[in-house]
Amino acid sequence: MKKLIVANWKSYVGSEADALSLAEGYSGIVMPQGVEAVACPPSVYIETVKGKLGRVKLGAQNVSLEDEGAHTGAVTVHMLLDAGAQYVIIGHSERRAEHETNEEVGKKAKHALAAGLDVVLCVGEPEAIRKQGIEAALAFVTTELAESAPSAEHMARSKGQLAIAYEPVWAISKDGVGRTDTAENAAAMATVIKAFLAQQLPDHAPLVLYGGSLNSGNAAQFLAKPEIGGALVGHASMNAEEFQKIIDAAGSK
Ligand code: PGA
């Protein structure tokens, strides 16, 4: 079964020199059978690393809802495609923290899919919800999906592929310091997400990735679960050797 491993470079890469040196490490990455890996640099460095990532594909961390026109600061889907991105992360909790709503996330996802970008749509509950128990977390994530996942009609008209990243907000690391969910809980959540999508998108079977403090030491536990179709990796993707080990863990499953 295919596994998708997505590197979210966030703003850890702060200069062109940083982006080029990380890309150089990525260019030597060996890709096991059945694994696809994507690097998502800050958008101004997409063209910098284009063609320099070896077997690793290229994506972006966010996209605007707007199309060409009077939208100061907007990076549109067409700009991303032009720059060479194939994937885009949408609805990351660090964007949602800037007041991005489910409705906006859903509109962005549909817009990007229609234009031909492959979308990694992020969902996940904050700590206060998780403290109420796993049922509350499941309900929270199901609502996020209900309010943002594309319809079957929309997917039928779309050129891009959809994947969902389940990232419990409280598990996402700050500069590499964080705590993962358990692989069992993540797999239970992936099962519920898959069941929701099987109803809404019967002709598609989007992969469900896990994200949140994943690294080479714990990746195998998560990736061994058949329900978990890959990983969204933040801080641990800053080191090409570490990222290779996570890819290898996906390959041996
Ligand atoms: P992390 O980030 O791996 O550093 O926890 C994951 C993410 O936010 O996508």
Strand partners, 40: 8
For residue 82, pLDDT beyond 80: yes
Read off the pLDDT of residues 176-190 as tens digits, 9 standing for 90 and up. 999 999 999 999 999
> What pLDDT does 186 receive?
97
SS3 207: strand
How confident is the model over 239-245, as a mean pLDDT?
98
Pair of tokens at residue 135? 């049922």
Q: What is the mean pLDDT of residues 98-102?
A: 93
- What is the distance in A from the centroid of ligand 1 to the CA of 80? 22
Q: What is the pLDDT of residue 1?
A: 77
For residue 252, pLDDT over 90 is answered with: no
Is the pLDDT at 118 greater than 70? The verdict is: yes
Look at the alpha carbons of 75, 79, 84, 86 in this order and tell me if their dihedral is positive or negative.
Answer: positive
This prediction's pTM:
0.97
Residue 92 annotated among the catalytic residues of the structure: yes
pLDDT higher than threshold 70 for residue 81 = yes
In which band, very low, low, confident or very high, does the pLDDT at 63 lie, cut at 50, 70 and 90?
A: very high
234 CA to middle of ligand 1, Å? 4
Give me the catalytic one of 36, 100, 167, 242: 167
What is the phi/psi pair of residue 92, to 5°?
-60, 145
Q: Note the pLDDT tens digit of each residue in 127-162.
A: 999 999 999 999 999 999 999 999 999 999 999 999
Ligand 1 binding pocket includes 212 (Cβ within 6 Å): yes
Examine the pLDDT at 253 and tell me if it is beyond 70: no
172 lines ligand 1 (CB under 6 A): yes
Other C-beta atoms closer than 10 Å to the C-beta of 204 total 15
Residue 27, CA distances (Å) to 13, 17, 30, 31, 214 in order: 16, 15, 9, 11, 22
Q: What's the mean pLDDT in 70-80?
A: 96
Question: Residue range 107-128: average pLDDT?
Answer: 97
Pick the catalytic residue: 36, 92, 235, 242?
92
* Distance from the alpha carbon of residue 157 to the mean position of ligand 1, in angstroms: 31
pLDDT category of residue 77 using cuts at 50, 70 and 90: very high
Measuring CA to CA, how many Å separate 172 from each of 101, 110, 127, 134? 19, 25, 11, 18
Report, as an integer, the average pLDDT of 53-61.
98
User: Of 246, 238, 242, 241, which Cα lies nearest the Cα of 10?
Assistant: 238
Measured from the Cα of 176, ligand 1's closest atom is: 4
CB of 234 shorter than 6 A to ligand 1? yes
Among 12, 179, 214, name the best residue to mutate to test ligand 1's pocket (greatest count of ligand atoms within 8 A of Cβ): 214
Where does residue 108 fall: left (phi above 0), alpha (psi -120 to 50 degrees), or beta otherwise?
alpha
From the CB of 8, is ligand 1 less than 6 Å away? yes
Mean pLDDT (whole number) for 41-69:
96
pLDDT in tens, 1-53: 799 999 999 999 999 999 999 999 999 999 999 999 999 999 999 999 999 99
Active site residue 167: yes
- What is the residue-averaged pLDDT of the chain? 96
